[in-house]
Amino acid sequence: MLRVMTDVAPAAASPAPAHEHSRTGLSADALRRGIVDHLRYSIGRPAAALRPEHYYRALALAVRDRMQNNRVASTQTSLDLGRKVTCYLSAEFLMGPQLGANLLNLQIESAARAALAELGQDLDQVLACEEEPGLGNGGLGRLAACYLDSLATLERPAIGYGIRYEFGIFDQEIHDGWQVEKTDNWLDNGNPWEIAKPDVSYLVNWGGYAEHYTDDAGHDRVRWVPGRVLKGVAYDTPIQGYGVKTCNVLTLWSARAVKSFALDAFNTGDYYKAVEDEVNSETVTKVLYPNDEPEVGKRLRLLQQYFFVSCSLQHVLHIMDDLADVSVHELPERFALQLNDTHPSIGVAELMRLLVDERQLGWDEAWDITVATFGYTNHTLLPEALETWPLAMFGESLPRHLEIIYEINRRFLDEVAEKFPGDPDRLRRMSLIGEDNGKSVRMAHLATVGSHAVNGVAALHSELLKSSVLKDFYEMWPERFSNKTNGVTPRRFLALANPGLRELLDDTIGEGWLSDPVRLRGLESFVDDPAFGDRWRAVKRANKARLAEYILASAGVDLNPDWLFDIQVKRIHEYKRQHLNVLHIATLYHRLKQNPGLEIPPRAFIFGGKAAPGYFLAKRIIKLINAVGETVNNDPDVNRFLKVAFVPNFNVQNAHLIYPAADLSEQISTAGKEASGTGNMKFMMNGALTIGTLDGANVEMRTEAGAENFFLFGLTVDEVEEIKRGGYRPSDYTDAELATVLDLIASGAFSHGDTEVFRPLADNLRHDDPFLVLADYQSYVACQDRVSVAWQDIPAWTRMSIRNTARSGKFSSDRAITEYCDDIWGVGPVTV
Ligand SMILES: *Cc1c(COP(=O)(O)O)cnc(C)c1O
């Protein structure tokens, strides 16, 4: 194939009239020329050897050229105007496939399709070649990605800072019903979106000790003598806004060995030691930690957090230094630093270190700058998910930061004591250093003390923060607290994921909804239009057929698109209660077996989600879903009415197929446990009805949609607390039907008679369940029965579905980002 050397990629041999530049032009012709150039100069393969993945790469590079052009203009404009920039610090960015989203935001989808067609390629086939960067666990990382999309679309200057994990979240396979984890090799074929910037690089210390000395002017100073030094190198990915010139950037840091340190080893002849150190340094950004694992003070995770935060803050200060006539005192006027959960909260101590030790500012002025610059978003109320680090390990790793934290704490507790005299218990509760089961550093406290703004992610969650985990801090500084209900980008989760609905919306209410999702309200005038209802249902039917095809190929289960599609996709966790959903399926199974004449509206139960590799019960829940599925799907008595499918490896790519295909969205967490949820919003935008508890953003979704368009069940937060206060006795909630269903599971009815495999789950539910599954069972099953009745009234269901989409505008990340910009960051739009 390679033998004919003249047989090269179709190149600039036939130059088209170059009205538009091949790197920046947005026409199909300019784009085709750009692709052809990249095939020749960046891919460098003979035409006969070109496969769709090469066209993917060439198109991606051509698209990146266009974004880079906007990127340079965006940076220049905000520098010229001296405008404030948001820095979103997040250990996770779950970006999903980039090509489709970038074509959409540049508004060149049809140009790209035409350009590829001229080259004999199909855009959809080329899009399918993309490997998604799985640099996040779930909702938190995906939220960060949605926020980057909205920041750019709203023309707000912003930098996302994170970690360039070489291996993202593991790929999930299902073997014999069990989850099996496989390494995610997302970089194997390269990443056309990133630009390595070896010159944007910073040194990061680790370990060693803090040395106190007196400088020439007689001031007490501290320098950190590290045990180890590594280097962070920036990789930049452009983030294009929709329908605007603004193009921001995501900067991800990758760890490298510091070569000069290895030289010592060379001098002593220990070549292998030098190589080994290099390998060790580079493991720092090797792999993303799955969350929901029991926290065991993983030193490497602390190093990852410190590493990316230190690089990011050094970068910000470096930008400040490059600005003429701007001193570091103006940091809060130039940059807003947002902490996405506590993962980057070491930044509070690191900024103090950079200002006090390295820039020699006084403590008080450094502290004022720090607090004015940082904001903190809390994402969880689960006590086991609140980050703490064992004090000894923290001190060995970051000796200077521990000193700084002690000093912050000393001054802070003085302030508390002044405001609340004679309350030692309060001091103990609020301290940055925890004393229960071994001393530890409490990162949520550090983040709260070091930020001028603290927010929760849904109205209910923000209220609970103020009355529970951060109550003392709320009493101290009520003005710091606010709510910023999460949102999701309608570009990706509506337009890109649901092209059928996009076309119907464009036809019906015009294209304005893409940049102003509140305009979805315009659908209200078509709710009673039967012709519109028919089109609405046709779109949903096609999405369900598309998902059914994917599920047949990936899970081997054949689903009928005319059935009710009942979907629960999200991380597998006890608090999200996938097992409550399974109890309902087992109940229907039992009813059908008991009563052969029974007819119920047919339903497909679809699940997806990863369990943390070390989370015993979550992995068993996956096995249970698959075991019930195998039994149900193969039993002719029930498979006329029920099917169960587990979609392997839930990720952003297959999420595009899943959310638009749902009739019913399962949002059934124990009230008070889900901070917000964002999957719930993606389903609602795509016209699914929700069955849910009064938890997280469900509460606001129900208010927006109207209670009559939402299936509510379950205990409220107050009721959950009351039950827990009195001591939860699951047997009090176990009626005859539930007892039978639990017995079925425990007795091996779904496990070929194996009575061991699900015993831990059944025991947990019957004796030891902090998430009150059995207490909500009756209410849930009764609500599901109402769903089945409602589903049979097709026109009424269609109206409810349309109303859900029409009223979903609030849950756009554009609304959320506007609130952050106005209330916390003070970052305004900059038109490029
Ligand atoms: C939206 C999303 C999530 C979050 O889902 P929740 O239902 O809010 O937990 C997790 N993973 C992926 C891939 C998502 O797109």
Alpha carbon separation from 686 to 61, 429, 456, 542, 697 (Å, rounded): 31, 44, 25, 13, 16
What is the rounded distance in angstroms from the CA atom of residue 143 to the CA atom of residue 147?
6
The H or E element spanning position 159 is strand 158-163
List Cβ neighbours of 770 (8 Å cut-off, separation of 6 or more).
574
Distance 679 CA to ligand 1 centre (A): 5
Q: Ligand 1, closest atom to CA 652?
A: 13
Alpha helices in 231-298 (DSSP H): 259-267, 271-282
Give the DSSP letter of residue 708. Answer: G
CA pair distance 520, 808, nearest whole angstrom = 8
Residues near ligand 1 (Cβ within 6 A): 138-139, 142, 570-571, 650-652, 655, 677-679, 682
User: How far away, in angstroms, is 138 Cα from ligand 1 center?
Assistant: 5
Structure tokens at 472: 């003392």
Region 266-282: mean pLDDT is: 66
Cβ burial of 400 (10 Å; 0-12, 13-18, 19+) is buried
Is pLDDT at 630 greater than 80 in this prediction?
yes
CA dihedral 75, 77, 79, 82 (to 10 degrees): -140
Q: How far, in Å, CA of 777 to CA of 785, rounded?
A: 12
Cα gap 100→480, rounded to integer Å: 39
CA distance 33 to 776: 61
Task: Give residue 655 CA to ligand 1 midpoint distance, Å.
Answer: 8
Residue with tokens 């198109």: 59
Per-residue pLDDT for 296 more than 70? no
Name the closest-CA residue to atom 15, ligand 1.
652
The residue type found at 75 is T
Q: Which atom of ligand 1 is nearest to the CA of 139?
A: 4
Amino acid identity for residue 272 in this structure: Y
Q: How far is ligand 1, taken at its centre, from the CA of residue 133, in Å?
A: 15
Using pLDDT thresholds of 50, 70 and 90, give the confidence band for residue 264: low
Determine the distance separating the centroid of ligand 1 and the alpha carbon of 678, expressed in angstroms: 6
Instruction: Using pLDDT thresholds of 50, 70 and 90, give the confidence band for residue 751.
Output: very high
pLDDT, position 279? 65
Question: What separation, in Å, do the N-terminal and C-terminal C-alpha atoms of the chain show?
Answer: 47
pLDDT digits (tens, 9 = 90+) for 497-528: 999 999 999 999 999 999 999 999 999 999 99
Enumerate the active-site residues. Answer: 379, 570-571, 576, 678, 682
Whose alpha carbon is nearest atom 10 of ligand 1? 138
Percent of the chain past pLDDT 90, that is, above it, reads: 90
- Of ligand 1's listed atoms, the one at least distance from the Cα of 609 is 11
Nearest CA to ligand 1 atom 8: 677
* Residue 141 CA to ligand 1 centre (angstroms): 9
Lowest mean per-residue pLDDT among 72-76, 165-169, 696-700, 748-752: 72-76
Which residue's alpha carbon is at the smallest distance from atom 5 of ligand 1?
A: 679
Structure tokens at 541: 């039917």
- Give the separation between CA 409 and CA 251, rounded to whole angstroms: 32
Q: Which residue has the tokens 């530890």?
A: 440
| Number of DSSP helices (H) and strands (E) in the chain, helices first | 32, 22
In this prediction, residues 149-171 reach a mean pLDDT of: 97
Per-residue pLDDT at 130: 95
Whose CA is closest to atom 6 on ligand 1?
679
Say how many C-beta atoms besides its own lie within 10 A of residue 670's C-beta: 24
| pLDDT, mean of residues 291-306 | 81
CB 289 within 8 A of CB 184: no
| pLDDT tens readout for residues 572-602 | 999 999 999 999 999 999 999 999 999 999 9
Closest ligand 1 atom to Cα of 94: 13
Residues 6+ apart with CB under 8 A from 713: 668, 691, 692, 693, 776, 779, 780, 782, 783
Length of the chain: 832
Residue 8 banded pLDDT, cuts 50, 70, 90 = very low
Distance, in Å, from the CA atom of 820 to the CA atom of 375, rounded to the nearest integer, reads: 10
Q: How confident is the prediction for the chain on average, in pLDDT? A: 94
CA-wise closest residue to 244 among 158, 157, 160, 152: 152
Residue 18's pLDDT band, with cuts at 50, 70 and 90, is low
Distance CA 669, CA 380 (A): 13
Residue 274's pLDDT is what? Answer: 63
Residues 191 and 97: their CA atoms lie apart, in Å, by: 11
Tokens for 107, please give them: 């508004």
pTM for this one? 0.96
CA–CA separation, 496 and 101 (whole Å): 7
Which H or E run contains 254? strand 247-257
Of ligand 1's listed atoms, the one at least distance from the Cα of 651 is 13
158 beta partners: 86
Strand segments (E) across 522-655: 564-569, 603-608, 642-647
Task: Tell me the C-alpha distance between 314 and 260, whole Å.
Answer: 20
Choice from 92, 95, 570 to test ligand 1 binding pocket (greatest atom count within 8 A of CB): 570
Which amino acid belongs to residue 815?
Answer: R
